[in-house]
DNA sequence: GCGCGAACAATATGATCAAATTATGCGGCG
DNA sequence: CGCCGCATAATTTGATCATATTGTTCGCGC
């Protein structure tokens, strides 16, 4: 029962008794995560207060939290904007995910319940639909949800939070790249992963997830190397 | 009302005026990091406003940032306190550092300059003094500075930030443990590490740092396993 | 043991101040 | 006569605060 920082939304059944700064944070986080905010775009605090109809303080706190997680950055002295992902930062993210993802997948595999398997299968099925429909936003959201479900299964609060934080960094760039490439030839080794997890084969599951992640990250890197700038 | 009589920041040079929320954040972070706040201790926002002589908004933002990094937690619904490190969380931190530290050390080794070596040597020398003097706070601070200097040398903004964030989680517990054990028999494989970095021997450097970190973390785990509760 | 209310602490707002960016106007130079 | 650069004004935006509001805790009387 611990999501005090609120970077994870475990259940969609959220209590509406949550403070405003928490709600604002989640909305802003999702906007970053699923590409509603473009890389380089400025994020003004007063713009958000009017756009979201909220007061200044909750918005400020939400922005600070996003900055703290690397989802936003302060440029120059005070202005805040969505970071433009640099090539060396992608390298770092690749290195990190190359360790985090198989590690968490292994732990998830040995802890997986039947409910977990059906949940993963369901998410992946919905993800296929989104791909076929060309629903970019749906793809991004379901893909993230798939991986985060595995994080949750791993029962590693700290490591999951760290791995999840990486998504905030490549989210905006991912949106741009997918918008260019299209949703058709996106990596999807999810079925192999779910299968391996269901069999309890941690090695195979870790390999499948690693392959999935690596493929996606390398596509991101390649697309970003082409057009060094993404606006 | 309160005009800063001067920017007498101890070590850094002429730092242009940083916003209050940034200064408060750093002070609070250091308090967590070096054990001025005990695990489980409550952190009230109004207490800090009066203690630090600051307004509410900067304090709130600083606290949010610390929560976001796992340095503080919201207990129940609203109250904020320093987290009590649980044994399973230590396991996670150990796993993470077991990957982060050698990775960053390798990168640091191939990028090390002469200035880096002298800096590391200087920090480690001061650290020895602190140990001899039984200066616990000095030990904690210099030990952290030593490792963070290596992070900086690795030139990996994202990974460094993640690795550094882990310190916020075990900082308070580390203080308690060191207070019990004393500063004498604390791990210090720093000299071997600096030596290896100076030789450009990435493998040896990574091994030394790994040993140093593992030793410290295992001591932490052992001490915490003894007295499950730390007050 | 169980409400009830007082005290306390966090949440949220809008006002106010300060900084930075953009717009503007003036004079000199080509 | 028109263009450029610099200085200054205007506007936008961020930082901070005092205060009102809301929710939580805890002691007191029943």
Give the phi and the psi of residue B79 in degrees, each rounded to 5. Answer: -70, 145
Q: Report yes or no: A5 and B67 within 8 Å, Cβ to Cβ.
A: yes
Extents of the domains making up chain B: 20-81, 87-226
The pLDDT value recorded for residue B93 is 97
CB B120 within 8 A of CB B194: yes
Q: Which of B60, B69, B159 lies at the smallest CB-CB distance from A96?
A: B159
If one compares A72 and B2, the residue with the highest pLDDT of the two is A72
Burial class (CB within 10 angstroms; exposed 0-12, middle 13-18, buried 19+) of A96: buried
Nearest by CB: B89 against A78, A92, A158: A158
Name the helix (H) or strand (E) containing B76: none
Confidence of residue A75 (pLDDT cuts 50, 70, 90): confident
Q: pLDDT value at position A131?
A: 87
Q: B111 contacts in A (CB within 8 Å)? A: none
Taking the stretch 32-71 of protein chain B, residues with Cβ within 7 Å of any atom in nucleic acid chain C are: 44-46, 56-57, 60
Q: Distance in angstroms, CA of A44 to C1' of D6?
A: 30
Strand C bases contacted by the protein (CB, 7 Å) = 9-15, 19-21
Closest by CA to B223, choosing from B85, B82, B37, is B85
Identify, with chain letter, the residue nearest to nucleotide C11 (CA–C1'): A19
Q: Is the CB of B42 under 7 A from strand D?
A: no
Please determine, looking at this structure, whether the domain spanning A87-226 carries the CATH number 1.20.120.530: yes
Residues of A in contact with B163 (CB under 8 A): none
The nearest CA of chain A is from the CA of B134 a distance in Å of 32
pLDDT under 50 in chain B at which residues? Answer: 1-14, 229-231
Averaged pLDDT of chain A: 88
Q: What is the pLDDT of residue A148?
A: 97
CB atoms within 10 A of CB A183: 18
List residues of A whose CB lies inside 8 A of any B CB. Answer: 2, 4-5, 7, 21, 57, 60-61, 64-65, 67-70, 78, 89, 92-93, 95-96, 99, 103, 156-159, 161-162, 165-166, 169
Interface contacts (A, B; CB < 8 Å): 71
Common-topology check for domains B20-81 and B87-226: no
Q: Which residue in the set B64, B92, B157 is minimally distant from A156, CB to CB?
A: B92
Give B99 to chain A, closest Cα distance, Å: 8
* Chain A residue closest in CA terms to B165: A162
Domain B20-81: which CATH number of 1.10.10.10, 3.30.930.10, 3.40.50.300, 2.40.50.100: 1.10.10.10
* Cβ atoms within 10 Å of B34's Cβ, excluding its own: 21
Closest residue in A to B21 (Cα–Cα)? A64
Q: Tell me the CA distances in angstroms from B24 to A22, A80, A213, B58, one per residue in order.
A: 22, 20, 38, 7
Instruction: Using CB atoms, pick whichever of A4, A67, A159 lies closest to residue B96.
Output: A159
| Residues B74, A21: C-beta atoms closer than 8 Å | no
High-pLDDT (> 90) share of chain A, %? 71
pLDDT of amino acid B7? 34
State how far the Cα of A226 lies from the Cα of A117, in Å rounded to an integer. Answer: 38
Q: Is B153 left (phi over 0), alpha (psi -120 to 50) or beta?
A: alpha
Q: Do B68 and A68 touch (CB under 8 A)?
A: yes
Task: Give A226: exposed, middle or buried? Use CB within 10 Å, 0-12, 13-18, 19+.
Answer: exposed
- The SS3 of residue B81 is strand
Confidence of residue A53 (pLDDT cuts 50, 70, 90): confident
Is residue A26 predicted with pLDDT exceeding 70? yes
Cα of A135 to nearest chain B Cα, Å? 30
Q: A-chain residues within 8 Å CB-CB of B65?
A: 64-65, 67-68
Q: State the DSSP string of A47-113.
A: HHHHHHT--HHHHHHHHHHHHHTTSSEEETTTEEEPPPPPHHHHHHHHHHHHHHHHHHHHHHHHH--
| pLDDT attached to residue A156 | 97
Of the candidate ranges A146-150, A186-190, B119-123, B214-218, the one whose mean pLDDT is the lowest:
A186-190
Using CA atoms, how far residue B7 sits from A76, A97, B50, in Å, is 21, 41, 21
Cβ of A70 and B161 within 8 Å? yes
Cβ separation B65–A68 shorter than 8 A: yes
Res A1: pLDDT: 36
Tens digits of residue pLDDT in A111-139: 999 999 999 999 999 999 998 888 889 99
């Amino acid at each position: 029962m611990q999501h005090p920082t609120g970077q994870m939304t475990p259940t969609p059944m959220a209590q509406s008794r949550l403070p405003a700064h928490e709600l604002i944070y989640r909305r802003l986080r999702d906007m970053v995560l699923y590409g509603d905010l473009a890389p380089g775009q400025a994020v003004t605090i007063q713009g958000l207060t009017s756009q979201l109809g909220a007061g200044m303080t909750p918005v400020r706190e939400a922005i600070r939290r996003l900055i703290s997680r690397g989802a936003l950055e302060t440029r120059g002295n005070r202005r805040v904007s969505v970071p433009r992902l640099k090539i060396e930062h992608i390298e770092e993210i690749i290195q990190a995910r190359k360790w985090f993802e198989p590690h968490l997948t292994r732990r998830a595999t040995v802890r997986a319940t039947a409910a977990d398997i059906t949940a993963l299968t369901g998410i992946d099925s919905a993800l296929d639909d989104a791909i076929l429909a060309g629903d970019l936003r749906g793809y991004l959201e379901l893909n993230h949800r798939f991986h985060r479900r595995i994080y949750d299964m791993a029962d590693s609060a700290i490591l999951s939070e760290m791995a999840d934080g990486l998504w905030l960094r490549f989210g905006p760039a991912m949106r741009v790249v997918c918008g260019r490439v299209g949703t058709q030839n996106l990596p999807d080794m999810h079925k192999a992963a779910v299968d391996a997890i269901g069999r309890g084969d941690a090695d195979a599951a870790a390999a499948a997830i690693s392959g999935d992640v690596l493929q996606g990250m390398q596509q991101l890197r390649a697309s970003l190397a082409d057009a060094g700038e993404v606006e």
